[in-house]
Amino acid sequence: MNRLLNGTLCVTLALGAGLAQAETALRVGLNADIRSTEPGVNRDENTDTVMLHIVEGLVAHREDASVGPLLAREVKRSDDGMTYTFTLRDRVHFQNGATLTAQDVKWTWERYLNPKTQWRCLAEFDGRGGAKITGIDTPDPLTVVFHLDQPSGLFLASMARPDCGGSGILHPDSLAADGSWKAPIGTGPFSLGEWKPGQYVVLSRFKDYSPRDDAGPDGFTGKKTALVDAVRFMVIPDPSSAKAALMSNNIDLLPNVSASDAQELKSTPGVQISFSPIMAICGLLFQTNDPLLKDVRIRQAIAHSLDYGQMVTALSNGTSEPNNSAIPQTSPFYSATAKQGYRYDPQEAQRLLKEAGYHGQPIKMIVNKRYSQMFDMGLLSQAMAVASGLNIQMETLEWGTQLERYQSGNYQMMAFSYSSRLDPATSFDSLMGDKTKEPRKVWDNPQAQAVLRDAVRESDTAKRQALFDQLHTMMIHDTPMVIIYNGTVAAALRDSVKGFHSWPVSSPRLWGVSLAAQ
């Protein structure tokens, strides 16, 4: 049965049921439900994945991790680096039929900058994490001018961040009459059809979508064309059930499968695997305000207790290599300095523990089973640390509960992963900050924050490289966390799926993807 919702076609589906009128639907497995439909606010990686098919920002990341225009036709930066002028593409439509104007951009950004919105990336634009937006002008319907209080080499990259919802531009009808959130009305190639919490999210092809005139898709930008009538994200928390659904042709695509499952599925008839290195950060977080872990020697001892080669081989099934740096291995800034990390040295770990007066006090490490790599990372770390005399005890929580504990800083130690950041400054920024203002930050070092501020303002590549090398060296010394590896994303898909491939950001893109007849 079809019905109209906020001016867009909503295809009502029951889990496992067929599409009305035999429309083409791409069935995609999600390991957990989305957290909300509000881009960049109450979010996680799955939420970002879904929302970035609905909303679009002024700019977006290209395939090579650079930033290019999306809703903007052109972007100009002033000589002093404090003014950015965006010229919008003409005749771009929202999913309710309205035409995009500069006023919509200003309205959206003023809402993001309002602390009451609780936007994930407010700190990147209000002066806490870099430049502050001091004003937004709209001199004509297709021109938006952003004024900053200082130069910023990261302004566009921060705008494009997937965890910011791509700073997606929204139509005011996304809000109810009382100003509360209702549903996203964006400009993307798909619109929100139906969300049945815990079961599925359906996106419908936006038939009046206004694509760029590029040759084809390019990361999150380029020519984005929906080639299926609907995308059905099906919530399947159990990895074994998800794998069985793919093998039995009940779903078409699993965007992220474990390394071991990828190896098994490679030999399954009708299934193919798409691999790509990613820029995520996977490791162990320490609460440096904890009475025990505030001693850097204990944190360093844990770092020296881990056999990184053996661990990463097991975690990735041999598809990744260790990396102790916040600078991803695929980054052009991954230098010889960034390759210098922790050495596996149980004797050094024992020496540090003895010097710190550690006598086997329990250290509680939070893990979850939603993300198998986090659980396995914790399990391997616990087992390896025993040889150095460390008493690490695992506590398994639901992912939502762990995320809340991370946000509040209410933990002693946890296995955790950060989604891909495409510039080293944003990688470091996701980890660094004043814990009294942002409890989720793990590295609270004012000197390091000053270096990061210089890296954010700097646009010269060689000078940025030196600053990133300095930050890496400082972080290895402070050990606020142990970064273990960046990882590889493996997607498993039926042979009928055409046009899909993984990429370093890891978030799947389903425009340009079609289904062949079977």
Q: Is residue 260 part of a domain?
A: no
Do residues 62 and 120 both lie within one domain?
yes
Give the pLDDT score at 518: 64
Do residues 169 and 239 both lie within one domain?
yes
Q: Is residue 16 part of a domain?
A: no
Do residues 77 and 124 both lie within one domain?
yes
User: Tokens at residue 517, please?
Assistant: 């007849």
Residue 74 dihedral angles phi and psi, to the nearest 5° = -150, 145
- pLDDT tens across 327-365, in order? 998 888 999 999 999 999 999 999 999 999 999 999 999
Whether the predicted pLDDT of 5 surpasses 80: no
Q: Is residue 273 part of a domain?
A: no
Give the pLDDT score at 506: 77
Q: Is residue 477 part of a domain?
A: yes
Tokens 């139906």 sit at which residue? Answer: 194
- pLDDT tens across 57-84, in order? 999 999 877 899 999 999 999 988 899 9
* Rounded Cα gap, residues 428 and 450, in angstroms: 12
- The total of structural domains in the chain comes to 2
Whether the predicted pLDDT of 460 surpasses 80: no
Give the pLDDT score at 144: 98
In Å, the largest CA–CA distance within the chain is: 71
Average pLDDT over residues 309-326: 92
Contact 81, 151 (CB under 8 A): yes
Q: Is residue 352 part of a domain?
A: yes
* Rounded Cα gap, residues 140 and 215, in angstroms: 29
Angle subtended at Cα 324 by Cα 348 and Cα 373, rounded to the nearest 5 degrees: 105
Q: Is residue 60 part of a domain?
A: yes
- Taking the CA atoms of 503, 509, 514 and 518 in sequence, report the sign of the dihedral they define: positive
Do residues 294 and 376 both lie within one domain?
yes
DSSP code at position 332: T
Residue 59 dihedral angles phi and psi, to the nearest 5° = -135, 165
Q: Is residue 12 part of a domain?
A: no
Do residues 233 and 324 both lie within one domain?
no
Do residues 84 and 158 both lie within one domain?
yes
Do residues 216 and 147 both lie within one domain?
yes
- pLDDT tens across 418-449, in order? 987 888 998 998 999 999 999 999 999 999 99
User: Which CATH number fits the domain that encloses residue 131?
Assistant: 3.40.190.10
* 1 — pLDDT class (breaks 50, 70, 90): very low
Residue 344 dihedral angles phi and psi, to the nearest 5° = -75, 110
- pLDDT tens across 181-234, in order? 999 999 999 999 999 999 999 999 999 999 999 999 999 999 999 999 999 999
Tokens 């291995």 sit at which residue? Answer: 329
Give the pLDDT score at 345: 98
Q: Which of 476, 452, 475 is nearest to 464 (CA)?
A: 452
Whether the predicted pLDDT of 513 surpasses 60: yes
Contact 123, 430 (CB under 8 A): no
Do residues 190 and 248 both lie within one domain?
yes
Whether the predicted pLDDT of 8 surpasses 50: no
> Could you write out the DSSP letters of every residue in 6-45?
TTEEEE---TTPPPGGG--EEEEEESS--S-SSTTSS--H
Contact 89, 212 (CB under 8 A): yes
Contact 281, 427 (CB under 8 A): yes
Helix (H) or strand (E) segment spanning residue 254: strand 253-254
Do residues 292 and 414 both lie within one domain?
yes
Give the pLDDT score at 218: 94
* 9 — pLDDT class (breaks 50, 70, 90): very low
User: Which CATH number fits the domain that encloses residue 341?
Assistant: 3.10.105.10
- pLDDT tens across 131-157, in order? 899 999 999 999 999 999 998 888 998
Contact 161, 170 (CB under 8 A): no
Question: What residue type is 200 in one-letter code?
Answer: Y
Whether the predicted pLDDT of 479 surpasses 70: yes
Q: Which of 105, 113, 77 is nearest to 89 (CA)?
A: 105
Helix (H) or strand (E) segment spanning residue 493: strand 488-494
Do residues 332 and 206 both lie within one domain?
no
Do residues 283 and 194 both lie within one domain?
no
Give the pLDDT score at 22: 56
Q: Note down the domain range covering 448.
A: 278-488
281-286 sheet: strands from edge to edge: 391-396, 362-367, 413-418, 281-286, 481-485
- pLDDT tens across 44-63, in order? 999 999 999 999 999 999 98
User: Tokens at residue 121, please?
Assistant: 């990336």
Q: Is residue 6 part of a domain?
A: no
Whether the predicted pLDDT of 21 surpasses 90: no
Contact 249, 516 (CB under 8 A): no
* Rounded Cα gap, residues 447 and 449, in angstroms: 5
Do residues 240 and 117 both lie within one domain?
yes
* 6 — pLDDT class (breaks 50, 70, 90): very low
